[in-house]
Amino acid sequence: MKLLEEYIRTYGEVPNDDVLKVDAFLNHQIDTRLMMQLAEDFKEHFKDQKITKIVTIETSGIAPCVFLGYLLHVPVVYMKKNPSKIMTDDCYHTNIHSFTKDRDYEIVISKKYISSEDNVLFIDDFMANGEACLGAIRVLKEAQATICGIGIVIEKAFQSGRKQVQALGYDVYAQARIASLKNGTIVFAE
């Protein structure tokens, strides 16, 4: 998506060869106009799917998902990292490792909000090594929900996430694909 690539070029920061910071429009401050454009692009790409719910993992995936949920007229459900003490109902859960934060999280989703009746579109802000996506797939499979699509805002194509997810039989649609961040230079994949 050319608009997203422009935002990444203009506002993205590259602190090292593995990390892209997009705090100016996605991860800290949210550019609402861009979020609507991302949502419209996801809606167009997944238009043939019969989506009943959009699922993401907190926090940065929530903004584009809310705009998409609005456009599709479906609920957005987000998996929580490290559940609070008040999450007392039955939950599906798994552990994932965050590449960016270099720490493990337990992600949970209430059984009240996901079921075998659901056709789920999973959206996440970044894909690196695929841990978050693979964890979400495990949880959604445990809930017996149908995964009808996987959308990623920014994929670091030089890492293994896509290959791992595709090995499970899922297609991945990424709105921007980064081929390299070497020497502070953002290079997009074709």
Q: Compute CA distances 145 → 80, 90, 141, whole Å.
A: 18, 16, 6
Kindly provide the b/e burial profile for residues 39-54, where b requires at least 16 CB atoms within 10 angstroms of the residue's own CB: bebbbeebeeeebbbb
Q: Known binder of ligand: residue 130? A: yes
Q: Known binder of ligand: residue 24? A: no
Q: Compute CA distances 120 → 15, 42, 110, 133, whole Å.
A: 34, 13, 15, 13
Q: Known binder of ligand: residue 131? A: yes
Q: Known binder of ligand: residue 143? A: no
* DSSP state letter for 184: G
Q: Known binder of ligand: residue 119? A: no
Q: Known binder of ligand: residue 47? A: no
Rounded-to-5 percentages of helix, strand, coil across the chain: 35, 35, 35
Q: Known binder of ligand: residue 129? A: yes
Q: Identify any residues that bridge with 121 across adjacent strands, giving them in sequence order.
A: 54, 149
Which residues fall in the annotated binding site for 5-phospho-alpha-D-ribose 1-diphosphate? 128-132
Which residues fall in the annotated binding site for xanthine? 20, 27, 156
Which residues fall in the annotated binding site? 20, 27, 128-132, 156
